[in-house]
Structure 1
Amino acid sequence: MRSLDPDILRTFMVVAEAPSYAEAGQRLNKTQSTVSVQMRRLEEIVGVELFEKRGRKNELTTPGRELLDYAIRIVRLNDEAVGRFHRPAISGRIRIGTPDDYAETYLPEIFGRFARTHPTVEVSLDCRSSEFLIRSLDEGELDIALITMMRPDPRARIVHREQLQWVAAEGCESEKASPLPLAVWQPGCTWRKITLESLEGAGIPYRIAYSGTNAVALSMVVRQGLAITAMPLRMAGRGFRLLGSAEGLPALSSFDIGLLRGADANPVVDAFYDHVVASFEALEPIAA
């Protein structure tokens, strides 16, 4: 029976994102010829063409995109299995900061991965605004912060990009009110800034009906039909109706999620940092 080598799959995952085999080789610290040989070998194993030439870029074919989904899952399970039985004997405490909406959406998977390989580490979680978390990190009160990128920060590693989406409650028409009733986060929030600037740029009158720092509370307000809001498409679950140009609303921009670490390096911080990066790399795209 044919089998898939995790090392080749790791190369495939990088090639799928890189503009060329040469760039993928640089990221992997492998020669371009090695990358090419591994991709040919992978195509031989699965029996289909994984790439097609588009100008100077190798783009995934439909079978290539399907295999990428499997590759992400196989590599993730491989790493968890190896880590489970060969994990470094580390223990201690790590202090993590994140906005509460990220805690609900992303941290369950991250914490689950981390606990399976480092079950004796104590995790302390602080849910605040990104601006507050950056200050806390700089003051040595946090080890790692997962933040919304309000501006470029050379210290931060961008781990994910999300698209903001207008949403309203199912069964109501809050978007037809004028001025438009909004539920938004407190001043300083990137989502709030994007939301208000988009409406002002489109000349749409609005009023801030509700504001706060708790994602659950703001979602409840929207689900009750009292206002509309803008949130990441990944978070717009049951009870929400997606809005857009058909309702006369302007397009919303995307935003980056960044990962910051404090100045003190230790094995616990290193391990958790790697788990965060791996979890975001394994996220499957969300279709509107």
Structure 2
Amino acid sequence: MDIDALKSFLAFVETGSFSRTAIQMHKTQSAISMQMKKLQQDVGQTLFIKEGRNLHLTAEGVALAGYAKKIIQLQQSALANLRSATPKKLLHLGCPDDYTESVLPVLIQLLHQHIEHLELHVTCASSPNLLSQLDRGLIDIAIITRNADSEQGYLLCQDKGVWVGAESTQLLEQTSLPLAVFQKECRFHQAAIEGLMKQNRAFHVIACSGSASTLRGLVKHDIAVSAMANLSRNALPILHDSRLPLLPNIEIALVKHTGANAVLPDIQLEQVCQQFQHQFQC
């Protein structure tokens, strides 16, 4: 049913006259008659009955009047709300999976404090993958792992690599050490594998994954030990064993694409990162 025809129909209900309806709706009387004819075709019912020189509503016409009022009210409410709604500020944020339970929640809270009407979309991937997406303009900002001597982006916090295992694990005593590690581009993957090779320590990789929860699950069930950032281990015990190679210190930073200026200018991004440093405890 046409909204404009329903409005004309309600005008007739109020006036009881096609001629007055035409005047109020700024249409010709023939145009109103055509609208009512089409409305009756849409409904499949007779809406009007002629008594002498006057038109009255049939029972179906009375029923339609009730529905028409609700439809018009709903349309008016929808238009009013949509026209008055404040436009959202869309921001695409990338984050490695291993920081989603530690760094990410604090950063998201700060972003919402600094940017009103923020619509935030989060993508999880490795740091190299996120940097590639950033360069191609697929995301606006990204949390990444950087070397301790790097100046890339804005520093969020510093962290260190740790070995983790299940409580009372005996896996370190095995001839070949079972490992669950992040994918090859991860600094801890490289440090763990290269360190064990330099020690001539036998090992075998149980699983390689970009998911921190996957690695933690394998470690928790004492299937493997793993090398990861201290922030990523959650409650997993740290393995203090001299037979395990040292892992590097890292920094976690926030980097942005130049096209994100409209939503998050550099000065605001710097403020967010400084506030993060004051709030977040590594």
TM-score normalized with structure 2 length: 0.62
Aligned amino acid, residue 259 of structure 1 = L
Distance 1:224 1:151 in 2: 32
Distance 1:126 1:194 in 2: 26
1:160 paired with 2:171, answer no
Alignment of 1:113-132 (within 5 A): 113-132=110-129
Distance 1:205 1:182 in 2: 11
Moved over 4 A (4+): 150-155
Whether the aligned pair in 1 keeps the contact of 2:192 and 2:245 (CA below 8 Å) is: no
Equivalent in 199, 212, 216 of residue 215 of structure 1: 212
**Structure 2: 5+ residue stretches without partners:** 1-85
Give the match for residue 238 of structure 2.
242
**Structure 1: 5+ residue stretches without partners:** 1-88
Whether the aligned pair in 1 keeps the contact of 2:156 and 2:276 (CA below 8 Å) is: no
Aligned amino acid, residue 248 of structure 2 = S
CA 1:235 to 1:213, structure 2 compared with 1: closer, same or farther past 3 Å? Answer: closer
Shift of 1:245: 2.9
Shift of 1:182: 0.3
Give the match for residue 203 of structure 1.
200
Equivalent in 215, 228, 232 of residue 229 of structure 2: 232
Whether the aligned pair in 1 keeps the contact of 2:146 and 2:152 (CA below 8 Å) is: no
Give the match for residue 133 of structure 1.
130
- Could you say what secondary structure the match of 2:246 adopts? coil
Give the match for residue 17 of structure 2.
none
CA 1:235 to 1:151, structure 2 compared with 1: closer, same or farther past 3 Å? Answer: closer
Whether the aligned pair in 2 keeps the contact of 1:144 and 1:273 (CA below 8 Å) is: no
Alignment of 1:1-288 (within 5 A): 91-149=88-146, 155-238=152-235, 240-246=236-242, 248-270=243-265, 271=268, 274-285=271-282
Shift of 1:155: 4.3
Shift of 1:117: 4.5
Aligned amino acid, residue 257 of structure 1 = I
Distance 1:224 1:277 in 2: 38
- Could you say what secondary structure the match of 2:165 adopts? strand
Shift of 1:161: 1.8
Whether the aligned pair in 2 keeps the contact of 1:166 and 1:243 (CA below 8 Å) is: yes
- Could you say what secondary structure the match of 1:269 adopts? coil
C-alpha offsets along residues 114-169 of structure 1, whole Å, 9 cap, x if unaligned? Answer: 32443510001110111111111111111111111269765433332211111101
TM-score normalized with structure 1 length: 0.61
Distance 1:154 1:163 in 2: 18
Shift of 1:272: 5.1
- Could you say what secondary structure the match of 1:266 adopts? helix
